[in-house]
């Protein structure tokens, strides 16, 4: 698999969901087309942009200018950055602001931001007046390749990640890869974990390409658009076959059962970004798969080696503050996993590997094996 040598025309990926199908538009500078695309999609619409303070400083004015040039009235709702906004209080703030802005059922909410903003704004849109359509304008790598696509919206409960939410598909996704230039290296690496995930779970050739070309993705060459488009195509294909996660879509949670528990254990704080939790979770899933005899130790090591090569954490000991604050014990982590959305009647479900490039849903995993595995990993 090779990437183009130079930036090409915008790439459009179709999410095939019948009368609710929508496009993901990928390319450098496509944010400028936001107004024209919305005007063509919904003539006469009004919008409200939900964003966070950091994204607002960089991209809110351009988004508003694009909408204004297309004759689209808009208002703004600005929230705090980070998981602190994905709460009951954050949902109330956004919902009340949208009501105050008189956003009606035939209007649009625009989610301008990373995964937190997309999840929060999408959930508010899903419940506002029993359902208002929304547009995703993801500004992080993680959001562009994962959370903006597929219609999962929601907020966190103190008891676990994303336990409150709704399936609510966007009507359009605008993924401008040039906005990623403003991300910190840590934020970009965090998003890269989700890119690598698509290779690990279902496309060994893509994973091999990532091993050879990850530096070009970070540098902002055309490899970046190629990686985003390949990831979006992979997710769109799965979502179109299993929108509500009754089967195959669960594969997209590779690394998330462990990762979400680690996020909860660290208080959904800056100690561990979501993608960092997914990276550690993928390595744990690979190593647990090897323990169960599903893959070789060499395959598990290959996954860990690549994630470490791009600077992602791969061990529990890599979590910020581990040496000073420690982490919840194996029993506590197992209890957090029991709150995972994939648990069915109290039985743990894991996404495990049969090979690099082939994942499988494994039901009713013996919790004793998981506890012993975690205890060894916590001990280093």
Could you tell me the CATH number of the domain that includes residue 231? 1.20.1090.10
Does residue 293 share a domain with residue 359?
A: yes
Do 166 and 208 belong to one domain?
Answer: no
Q: What is the pLDDT of residue 6?
A: 60
**65-100 confidence digits (pLDDT tens):** 999 999 999 999 999 999 999 999 999 999 999 999
Assess whether 244 and 324 both reside in one domain: yes
Do 137 and 215 lie in one domain? The reply is no
pLDDT at site 158: 87
> Scanning the structure block, which residue is given the tokens 């790598």?
141
Report pLDDT for 368.
93
- Residue 279 inside a domain? The answer is yes
Tokens 């029991």 belong to which residue? 338
Would you say residue 5 has pLDDT above 70?
Answer: no
Within-domain flag for 192: yes
Burial of 5 (0-12, 13-18, 19+ CB in 10 A): exposed
324, with CB counted inside 10 A (0-12, 13-18, 19+), is exposed
Give residue-wise pLDDT tens across range 40-62.
999 999 999 999 999 999 999 99
Q: What percent of the chain has pLDDT over 90?
A: 87
CB 367 within 8 A of CB 348: yes
Any idea which residues carry the catalytic annotation?
Answer: 130, 152, 194, 235, 245, 249, 253, 256, 260, 274
Domain membership flag for residue 202 = yes
In a domain, 310, yes or no: yes
**3 pLDDT band (50/70/90 cuts)?**
low
203 & 300 share domain = yes
Tokens 């205890």 belong to 375
In the predicted model, what is the mean pLDDT of residues 245-254? 93
| Residue 66, in any domain of the structure | yes
Residue 174 to residues 36, 136, 166, 197, 228, Cα–Cα distance (Å)? 12, 6, 21, 22, 12
Instruction: Please say which residue of 179, 210, 231 terminates a domain.
Output: 179
Of 246, 32, 252, the C-alpha closest to 145 is 252
In this predicted model, what pLDDT tens digit does every residue of 94-133 receive, in sequence order? 999 999 999 999 999 999 999 999 999 999 999 999 999 9
- Rounded mean pLDDT of 152-171? 94
Distant-in-sequence contacts of 203-210, Cβ < 8 A, 24+ apart: 203/230, 203/234, 203/357, 204/355, 204/356, 204/357, 204/358, 205/1, 205/357, 206/1, 206/230, 206/234, 207/306, 207/356, 207/357, 208/1, 209/1, 209/2, 209/3, 210/306
Asked if residue 314 and residue 210 are part of one domain, the reply reads yes
What's the structural domain count of the chain? 2
Q: What is the pLDDT of residue 302?
A: 98
Q: Using 50, 70 and 90 to split pLDDT, how confident is the model at 345?
A: low
Shared domain check, 338 and 302? yes
Is 282 contained in some domain? yes
Asked which of 8-17, 271-280, 350-359 is least confident by mean pLDDT, the reply is 8-17
| Domain end residue (candidates: 179, 194, 210) | 179
Looking at the structure, tell me whether residues 124 and 270 fall in a common domain. Answer: no
Q: For 295, which DSSP code?
A: S
346 pLDDT higher than 80: no
| Residue 2 domain-assigned (yes or no) | no
Contact 102, 133 (CB under 8 A): no
Q: What does the pLDDT read at residue 254?
A: 97
3-state secondary structure of 2: coil
Distances in Å between the Cα of 333 and the Cα atoms of 46, 246, 260 are 45, 25, 10
Same domain, 113 and 145: yes
**Percent over 70 (pLDDT), the chain:** 96
Clarify whether residues 156 and 189 are in a common domain.
no
Domain that holds residue 242: 185-379
What is the reported pTM? 0.93
Domain boundary among 122, 156, 179: 179
Domain identity same for 160 and 53:
yes
Residues 71 and 214 in one domain: no
Residue 4 within a domain: no
Dihedral of alpha carbons 239, 244, 249, 254, sign: positive
Is residue 147 scored above 80 in pLDDT? yes
Say which CATH number the domain at 150 has.
3.40.50.1970
């Amino acid at each position: 698999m090779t990437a183009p040598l130079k930036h090409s025309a915008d790439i459009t990926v179709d999410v095939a969901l019948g009368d609710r199908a929508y496009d993901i538009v990928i390319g450098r500078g496509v944010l400028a087309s936001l107004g024209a695309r919305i005007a063509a999609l919904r003539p006469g619409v009004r919008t409200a942009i939900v964003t966070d303070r950091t994204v607002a400083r960089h991209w809110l004015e351009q988004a508003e200018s694009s909408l204004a040039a297309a004759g689209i009235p808009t208002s703004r709702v600005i929230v705090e950055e980070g998981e602190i906004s994905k709460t009951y209080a954050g949902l109330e703030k956004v919902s009340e602001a949208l009501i105050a802005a008189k956003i009606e059922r035939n209007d649009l909410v625009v989610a301008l931001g990373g995964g937190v903003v997309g999840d929060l704004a999408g959930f508010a849109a899903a419940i506002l007046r029993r359902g208002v359509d929304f547009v995703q304008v993801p500004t992080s790598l993680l959001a562009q390749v994962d959370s903006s696509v597929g219609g999962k919206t929601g907020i966190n409960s103190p008891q676990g990640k994303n336990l409150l939410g709704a399936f609510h598909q966007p009507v359009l996704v605008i993924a401008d890869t040039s906005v990623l230039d403003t991300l910190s290296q840590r934020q970009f690496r965090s998003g890269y974990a989700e890119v690598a995930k698509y290779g690990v779970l279902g496309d060994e050739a893509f994973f091999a390409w990532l091993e050879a070309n990850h530096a070009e993705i970070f540098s902002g060459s055309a490899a970046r658009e190629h990686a985003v488009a390949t990831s979006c195509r992979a997710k769109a294909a799965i979502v179109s076959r299993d929108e509500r996660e009754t089967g195959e879509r669960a594969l997209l949670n590779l690394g998330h059962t462990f990762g979400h528990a680690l996020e909860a254990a660290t208080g959904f704080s800056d100690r561990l970004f979501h993608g960092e939790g997914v990276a550690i979770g993928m390595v744990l899933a690979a190593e647990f798969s090897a323990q169960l005899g599903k893959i070789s130790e060499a395959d598990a090591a290959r996954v860990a080696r690549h994630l470490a090569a791009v600077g992602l954490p791969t061990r529990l000991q890599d979590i910020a503050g581990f040496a000073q604050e420690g982490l919840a014990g194996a029993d506590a982590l197992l209890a957090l996993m029991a709150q995972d959305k994939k648990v069915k009647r109290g039985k743990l479900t894991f996404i495990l590997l049969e090979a690099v490039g082939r994942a499988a849903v494994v039901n009713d995993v013996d919790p004793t094996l998981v506890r012993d595995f975690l205890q060894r990993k916590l001990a280093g």
